[in-house]
Amino acid sequence: MSKPLIGHLIAGQPYCDNGQRQPLYNPATGAVCGEVLLAQPATVERAIDAAQSAYPAWRDTPPLKRARVMFALKALLEAHADELCELITDQHGKVLHDALGELQRGIENIEYAAGAPELLKGDYSRNVGANIDSWSDMQPLGVVAGITPFNFPAMVPLWMWPLAVVCGNCFILKPSERDPAVALRIAELAQQAGLPPGVLNVVNGGREVVEQLLDDHRIKAVSFVGSTPIAASIYARGSAAGKRVQALGGAKNHAVIMPDADLDNAVSALMGAAFGSCGERCMAISAAVAVGDATADALVARLRTAMAELRIGSGRDNSNDMGPLISAEHRDKVIGYLQTGVEQGAELVVDGRDAQLPAAGYFLGASLFDRVDASMSIYRDEIFGPVLCLLRVPDLAAAMQLIDDHQYGNGTAIFTRDGEAARYFCDNISVGMVGVNVPLPVPVAYHSFGGWKRSLFGDLSAYGPDGVRFYTQRKTVTQRWPSSGVRDGISYSFPS
């Protein structure tokens, strides 16, 4: 791939306008690896028009046939997995095995979408009154849009559009302008799998494109995943335009380690959850909460050892554990937090700047802060980097208070062997996705993904059953028939 130009996909065809071009960087080298076109307003119009045009026929295509595109697409993605993972790694930076995991989770959403005929069943009630029947039919909305973040360039788009289109909608995807290649390539494969032109369109661009999509009255719904400030603003602007919006934002996910936890398991889990994909995950564990100093001390000792063995380098090398951050700016911002944390009194047990790092690219090692408290900005903010903050609390109640007081409520985990502690935690914690000895409790594709508090705006979570509900509108029919008719011998003239 020699510095390609990433354009748009509209009505089943590649499309390039005269819009501004923005360079794309390979985070592992810092080199420009291509350009992306930022769509002009007319291009967005063109995409909406294409989607509108494709809608009537697609809406009337039986769900079974829509679902079969998903069967075909799954096979195609599996066949092209290597190519797709390389696209992810070269533009995002994550290690290939991590990219493959991302792709796999994306494909699971396609597998779920393949069950569309089952998922779209409505409720049927005979005799809601005498000889009156009523049923619900979950119909598509029309044209809907998705706006997705850089950190899962393949998976998050696959949370959205496969489900939207099997429900009968047409879709406009605006991927992150930092690593748009893989989403575009998957969209091309979807055409090959049999998706009719115009059912899925990809427009690249930045904020202007987002705002145009939010304001256009022909877009009936918008799904967004990104940071909380933008999520809040998208929720407000889309709602003000009268549309339905689900906007997923940021996180500060806590792992509580109880004194009875299997520590080896917990440390192994934390290493992946805190530093996998450089911590650039909305489900990353960025705060470890140790119950009791003994637990904390043991944890720090083990983490220090494990962190010393982390291999950091190009994502193209599958023996590495961590690749680069997404950009130089972001790396510098994370480094800034290291500095701030120390200034605010936390103990920087492991400093990621000391790690052995490649010379080029946006690399940074993993860091561990001990003795963090709730007032520090390294705790209050989402850093989105390989930085784990350890907080020490005397008991589970204190741990839960910390979590409940935080503005975010995306994911959390508890490490324990005790059934009662786990159940109490799960029941009472103000977080949408909870793991028991599972550090990244990302729901499987047939459940739904959604945080609480300022981690999600809207009433329906992403993908799974809630995704189906989000991408459909309820139509309820109530039917009775006049008592006199052909049964009573009313003579209809029938064509002979």
Q: How far is the CB of 446 from a copy of itself (least distance, A)?
A: 5
Interface with a copy of itself in residues 287-316 (CB under 8 A)? 298
By CB under 8 A, residue 460 contacts a copy of itself: yes
By CB under 8 A, residue 194 contacts a copy of itself: no
Q: How far apart are CA 185 and CA 203, in angstroms?
A: 13
* Residue closer to a copy of itself (CB basis): 184 or 274: 274
149-180: b or e for each residue (b if 16 or more CB lie within 10 Å)?
Answer: bbbbbbbbbbbbbbbbbbbbbbbbbbbbbbbb
Among positions 259, 321, 327, 344, the unique one binding a copy of itself when judged by CB under 8 A: 259
Phi, psi of 98 (to 5 degrees): -70, -40
Among positions 433, 455, 463, 467, the unique one binding a copy of itself when judged by CB under 8 A: 433
* Non-local CB neighbours of 222 within 8 Å, separated by 6+ positions: 144, 145, 146, 147, 213, 214, 234, 238, 243, 244, 245, 246, 247
Angle at which helices 155-166 and 181-192 pack, to 10 degrees?
30
Q: How far is the CB of 155 from a copy of itself (least distance, A)?
A: 16
By CB under 8 A, residue 232 contacts a copy of itself: yes
Binding track over 323-362 against a copy of itself, x by CB under 8 A: ----------------------------------------
Q: Where are the alpha helices (DSSP H) in 276-313?
A: 293-308
Active-site entry in 167, 170, 282, 389: 282
- Could you tell me which stretch among 155-163, 191-199, 273-281, 444-452 binds a copy of itself (CB under 8 A)? 444-452
By CB under 8 A, residue 38 contacts a copy of itself: no
Respond yes or no: is residue 167 known to be catalytic: no
Interface with a copy of itself in residues 109-138 (CB under 8 A)? 111-112, 114-115, 117-137
Q: How many CB atoms lie within 10 A of CB 201?
A: 31
Report the phi/psi class of residue 79: left, alpha or beta, with left for phi > 0 and alpha for psi in -120 to 50: alpha
Q: How far is the CB of 388 from a copy of itself (least distance, A)?
A: 21
By CB under 8 A, residue 147 contacts a copy of itself: no
Residues in contact with a copy of itself, counted by CB under 8 A, come to a total of 121
Q: How far apart are CA 321 and CA 275, in angstroms?
A: 8
Burial class (CB in 10 A: 0-12, 13-18, 19+), 423: exposed
Q: β-strands 132-140, 472-479: how paired?
A: antiparallel
Angle at which helices 419-428 and 396-405 pack, to 10 degrees?
20
By CB under 8 A, residue 459 contacts a copy of itself: yes
Q: How far is the CB of 414 from a copy of itself (least distance, A)?
A: 10
176 near 27, Cβ under 8 Å? no
Interface with a copy of itself in residues 364-423 (CB under 8 A)? 395-397, 416-423
Interface with a copy of itself in residues 49-68 (CB under 8 A)? 60-64, 67-68
Q: How far apart are CA 114 and CA 142, in angstroms?
A: 20
By CB under 8 A, residue 239 contacts a copy of itself: yes
Q: Which residues are catalytic?
A: 282
